[in-house]
Structure 1
Amino acid sequence: MTTGGIQVEQPAARGVRRRTVLASGLAAAFLVGDTSTDGPRPDPSRLAAGAPRNAAHTDVLFIGAHPDDETMNLATFGQWREELGLSTSIITITRGEGGGNAVGPEEGPQLGLIREAEEREANAVMGIENIYYLDKPDFWYTLSAPLTARIWDAQDTLARVVRLVRSVTPDTIVVMDPRPFNQHGGHQFSARLGIEAFRLAGDPLAFPDQLVLEGLQPWRPRRLLAQNYGFDAVLGPAAAEARRIDPGSGLPVIGVWSGVRSREHGATWAQVARDATRLYVTQGFAAKPARVPTDSGQIGSEWFTVLAEDGRYLEAPVRRQPGLKPLYAEFAGWADRLGLPWLANGAQPDYPANPRTVIPVVGRAPVLDGTERPGEYPGPELPLAVWQGDDRCTATAKVSRHGDDLYVLVKVNDKRKGAVLAADDVKRHWRTDSVEIAIDPRGDSDNTSTTLKTGILPYTAAGGPAAERDADNRQGAANGIQVASVVTEPYRGYTVEARIPLGDLPAPVDPARFAMNIMVYNSDTDDKTGQTRLAWSPYGSAQADPYVWGTATLENYHPSGTRQPTAPVIPGTAARSADSPASLAQAKRLNVPIAGGPTRR
């Protein structure tokens, strides 16, 4: 299947009919609503006047992209249930089959079903029973909501979310942060879907077949909240009582303190949430400290931006940003069309100047052996700075070109080896010591689907290095890329050397705008979790944001021949609810079809 110029690898369609809807995001904004910041308030009379309470009804509905996206709010959901009697249900759009696995070799749909089991077990701790999966593919880590929308089939996914909102009749919807910078495109787009569904579920003209053919009723939730990560450093019991404003959107922010003690569990909700979070073992969360602080002054809150009250979007002053890069301009356009332009306030950060270098040409090809020989890398040494974590290791890189081949040499000083992986287990290389090389051949990419990215393990269980392409134009085998490494004994670090044919890049090279980033991932444990990340250009999501990458002019390079850019091939296989006994049993118990599919009258 090809969508938007992107080839999507996916199984045959499963007979789900597509529904119609008015153009998404074109309606005007609702009036300003009540700005009170108390917790969600159930309204039984409203249910009696609208849709009847049913087995699937929930007071709060969280909408996320992957299993574990709700972990930021587990303490809140548990506390709301115990203190206010509010039930919570979850929509998880994918099963995270594109993520890493810290405990086994499973990938793809098999991993997705394992992650579903983890999510159900963790949420059961909080009394959350119902989780609805939409069977969309988790293809890889991207910062692009537009790319995610194309792979998920935005209109189909929106129809499923609206259908579920009408089926479970929530008073409150909680979404992730829709803003673009430095977060997963799946997170962004799941939030957009929730924000649009908040309005569309109550519109009788939106997806009318759900009403006429399926017997559902329009339903308008009262409150819309979005996760807010900007106040995590504000600690103590009094923090959540203060009136706060989100510095980006200008909307009110509420907090729920996690230091309240649960009567049921005999511990703070922060501790209960940590216990639940550690059940996500495939994601390495079991490595989190088992105990949280007991000093109330060291316990934080979970924060939410209030997007709507009493069924109406809240308003805030609009602050337009000039000179938006395409990804941010697209987000601002979406917010404008939806009637929420303030969501784009300050969405594009003040990017630092991109680093620059010149890649010299060498008359003789470097010997690919993990050793720097005289004359092989005459260009400048590129320092790799801490991008995330601490200073557990240091690294530098050098780059040169011979003919149509790029050579990269990365030297890493380290104190302890990370987990030793199998040679065919390179996917999600950031779980242990590794190098990543990212290249944008024309310097104009808005996401990594038009780039080449390769992850390289300096050592494996087979002894030597291994490489694979990840989250790029042709994820999978690193055909054509050759790697070598030298690992010191006793261990003090390693050197990785790679040869990358310029003809393997997804587009012809522009020698003056050629962009790249070189990164090092470091782990000092055997549990497949990382502690430190370094990068030549260390800002934001340095591995996934081509806007950050440095310019590397190719000295005296004149590309031979002409060729067209290659369309991305993106994995489209997802775990299916039809293969999940838990999802099938839930559908039978609630009479809500699996995967947000059509309801049969």
Structure 2
Amino acid sequence: MTPYKPRRLLPAALVATALVTGACSTHKEPDGGDTTSPASRAAAHTDVLFVGAHPDDEFQSLATFGQWRERQGLSTGVVTVTRGEGGGNAAGPEEGPALGRIREREERAAVGHVGIRNVFYLDKPDFWYTLSAPLTAKAWNRGPQQPTDTLARLVRLIRATTPKTVVTMDPRPFNQHGGHQEAGRLAVEAFRLAGDPTAFPEQITKEKHAPWKPSRLLAQSWKFDGPTGKQCAARRATDPHTGLPVVGVWPGARSRDHGKTWAQVERDAARTYVTQGFGALPPTVDTPADRLPCEWFTVLAEDGRPVTAPVHPQSGLRPLYAEFRDWAQQVHMPWLADDAQPAYPPAPATTVPEVAEAPVVDGTAGPGEYPGETLHLTHWDGKECTPDDCSADARLARHGDDLYVLVHVTDDKKGAALDAADDCKRHWRTDSVEIDIDPRGRSDDTSTTFRTGILPFTAHGGGPCAERDGDSHQGPASSTAPGMTVASTVTDPYHGYTVEAKIPLAGLPTPVDPAHLTANILVYDSDTQDKTGKSRLAWSPYGSAQADPYVWGTLRLPGYTPPSARPAPTAELPLDAARSQDSPASVEQSTRTGVPLGGGAPWGVSGGSSPRQGRGAVSTCGSAAWARPATTRPSR
């Protein structure tokens, strides 16, 4: 067998996987209990292990996990790489680690609806929404950690929990959160490496785990458009892109224990994710059972080996897709990259006129201020709406080194007014305008772009406020975008608003290329007071229009000469993560199961520590003896 070499380097060449039985450690840790007892080993074992990036990534599979438990007696555990510190918060102003701790509580409550007890967090930082798996991997494995740190933790967890089935997220790149992609990639790699004694050998020689080879690997397939109704689970289906088989689990079946459909159980669970706005979901699932779709999963591996499919190479790949193709080849699943890059439609383009006098930033279009063409924004995401419900257009102008943008929005219902003092962030939760600029038109992700969100109104009768989100300089525009000014006018009675902004081109992350600068202008429409969005419009409305610079349209700047070269500002990612040592629920779980906090090394090994000490976790034992008998049915 060809040695397997993941993109995160391992020092030794990897060889064919083999199942090796290892002896359990027999020493006790201070305050940690005996983690080698049969009860402790049983508490760690799970038949199914789900690997996701954020709290709530598992929620659209909870009906499946509940059915597997009730019908086949299969237990499920969840690995969540981050606590979602970089996401929105529909429940309050908390962000960062404080938000992560809230989201952990929500996740534990949600998965409890289907009998899941153990959620293992890897304590990695969540940051703004990105479509880049490489950028996510950089954040999750920042120095002084090794570039394989997250992978090592996941391999350790598979060896500790001995699942027969691993379920993860779709690793494919288009129109999908980079954290989801990276979680899927990590699971693919760890699925193979956990059974290889040469992969992270210290986990075997020092920590006394044994290699563990799961049997089945599934990936959530949210975008698969299969049949609906009870028969969807029996239908043979194939992913049209990869050619791999797809299996379904129908949530319309009734739960014996709950006395309701699994779709309703899943809805009850989903509504506990209040910070993510899921509390606004209707309490009752009213879709007729014969119209309920299956929860679909692509079968990536069976009997411990990849399921193969024909390979259809694509040419002319952009860097993000070429990187994914290379990864798919490295993990010996090149078919995963089939059709990975979509046929991007032609991007729009416009010429930004230069004006002799600078527009007055007052939320109105004065005579002669915006002589260029009007850009019409169209539906991009969410519920489609009528022109009176939500519609928008934009106009642009340039004076010297300043870009001026005026966006007029028609809107029939006012969204929640956020507090400008402590909640001028995560603008997509309510009515807002977003302006995205890629100075040179060459970015593969938004870390090298400028992205600002503008709230046209704020609480307590406040005016507009602006922030930067989704690029490398997060926070209020007053500190992250020097020289930027905004204004707005809001109609009374309310039927819409106008936002106007001045953006200094000299303040963009890199000097502007006047012939290739790209941008997008977006509008978020809420219509509710619960800090959740409803509809989204964009000038260039394709895929993840706010986060995919490949989509953005060209702004031609005739006659513009950018300022002389200047040092680029230092890019920053918000990398402050909530820690398992600060979570009583995680500490209790680690003590009960013997699985280290954060998936790290156990106490006494490579700096690990007991849960009551912090930093690491109690000692854990990884042995093939933990596994259920070979006759245990695999999850279906």
For residues 54 and 125 of structure 1, the distance between their equivalents in structure 2, rounded to whole angstroms, comes to 21
Quote the offset at 1:22 in angstroms: 2.4
Structure 2 partner of 1:532: 535
Does residue 267 in structure 1 map to residue 254 in structure 2?
Answer: no
Structure 1 partner of 2:371: 378
In structure 2, which of residues 394, 397, 410 is the aligned counterpart of residue 397 of structure 1?
394
For residues 326 and 524 of structure 1, the distance between their equivalents in structure 2, rounded to whole angstroms, comes to 38
For residues 527 and 93 of structure 2, the distance between their equivalents in structure 1, rounded to whole angstroms, comes to 21
Quote the offset at 1:300 in angstroms: 1.6
Structure 2 partner of 1:94: 82
- The percentage of counterpart residues that share the same residue type is 63
Counterpart AA for 1:54: A
Structure 1 partner of 2:380: 387
For residues 311 and 561 of structure 1, the distance between their equivalents in structure 2, rounded to whole angstroms, comes to 57
Structure 2 partner of 1:438: 436
Per-residue CA deviations over 1:308-343 (Å, capped at 9, x if unaligned) read 001111110000000000000000000001111000
For residues 307 and 361 of structure 1, the distance between their equivalents in structure 2, rounded to whole angstroms, comes to 54
The structure-2 alpha-carbon separation of the partners of 1:466 and 1:233, relative to structure 1 and needing over 3 Å to count, comes to farther
Quote the offset at 1:535 in angstroms: 0.3
Counterpart AA for 1:444: R
Per-residue CA deviations over 1:374-424 (Å, capped at 9, x if unaligned) read 111111000000101211300000011111111000000010100011013
Quote the offset at 1:230 in angstroms: 2.9
Per-residue CA deviations over 1:35-70 (Å, capped at 9, x if unaligned) read xxxxxxxxxxx9999998532000000000000000
Does residue 343 in structure 1 map to residue 330 in structure 2?
Answer: no
SS in 2 for 1:93: strand
Counterpart AA for 1:151: A
SS in 1 for 2:90: coil
Quote the offset at 1:169 in angstroms: 0.3
The structure-2 alpha-carbon separation of the partners of 1:229 and 1:143, relative to structure 1 and needing over 3 Å to count, comes to same
Counterpart AA for 2:551: V
For residues 258 and 268 of structure 1, the distance between their equivalents in structure 2, rounded to whole angstroms, comes to 7
Contact kept, 8 Å, 2:473 with 2:573, in 1: the verdict is yes
Alignment TM-score, normalising by the size of structure 2: 0.87
For residues 190 and 537 of structure 2, the distance between their equivalents in structure 1, rounded to whole angstroms, comes to 39
For residues 434 and 521 of structure 1, the distance between their equivalents in structure 2, rounded to whole angstroms, comes to 5
SS in 2 for 1:272: helix
Counterpart AA for 1:538: P
Contact kept, 8 Å, 2:485 with 2:501, in 1: the verdict is yes
Does residue 408 in structure 1 map to residue 405 in structure 2?
Answer: yes
For residues 27 and 398 of structure 1, the distance between their equivalents in structure 2, rounded to whole angstroms, comes to 57
Counterpart AA for 1:458: P
SS in 1 for 2:82: coil
Q: Provide the aligned C-alpha RMSD in A.
A: 1.8
For residues 411 and 560 of structure 1, the distance between their equivalents in structure 2, rounded to whole angstroms, comes to 31
For residues 521 and 59 of structure 1, the distance between their equivalents in structure 2, rounded to whole angstroms, comes to 42
Counterpart AA for 1:445: S
Contact kept, 8 Å, 1:485 with 1:495, in 2: the verdict is yes
Structure 2 partner of 1:56: 44
Within a 5 Å distance, the mapping from 1:108-507 to structure 2 comes to 108-153=96-141, 154-232=147-225, 234-293=227-286, 295-388=288-381, 389-391=383-385, 392-424=389-421, 425-462=423-460, 463-479=462-478, 480=482, 481-507=484-510
Per-residue CA deviations over 1:148-186 (Å, capped at 9, x if unaligned) read 010101410000000000000000000100000001000
Contact kept, 8 Å, 2:415 with 2:431, in 1: the verdict is yes
In structure 2, which of residues 514, 518, 525 is the aligned counterpart of residue 515 of structure 1?
518
Quote the offset at 1:293 in angstroms: 2.9
SS in 2 for 1:399: strand
For residues 290 and 253 of structure 1, the distance between their equivalents in structure 2, rounded to whole angstroms, comes to 30
Aligned length: 566
Structure 1 partner of 2:66: 78
Per-residue CA deviations over 1:88-139 (Å, capped at 9, x if unaligned) read 0000000001111101111110110000000000000100000000111101
Counterpart AA for 1:427: K
Alignment TM-score, normalising by the size of structure 1: 0.92
The structure-2 alpha-carbon separation of the partners of 1:524 and 1:233, relative to structure 1 and needing over 3 Å to count, comes to farther
Quote the offset at 1:504 in angstroms: 1.1
Contact kept, 8 Å, 2:111 with 2:117, in 1: the verdict is yes
Contact kept, 8 Å, 1:203 with 1:218, in 2: the verdict is yes
For residues 239 and 345 of structure 1, the distance between their equivalents in structure 2, rounded to whole angstroms, comes to 25
For residues 21 and 43 of structure 2, the distance between their equivalents in structure 1, rounded to whole angstroms, comes to 14
Structure 2 partner of 1:16: none
Contact kept, 8 Å, 1:65 with 1:93, in 2: the verdict is yes
Quote the offset at 1:29 in angstroms: 9.8
Quote the offset at 1:27 in angstroms: 6.3
Flag structure 1 segments of 5+ consecutive residues without an equivalent: 1-19, 31-45
SS in 2 for 1:157: helix
SS in 1 for 2:183: helix
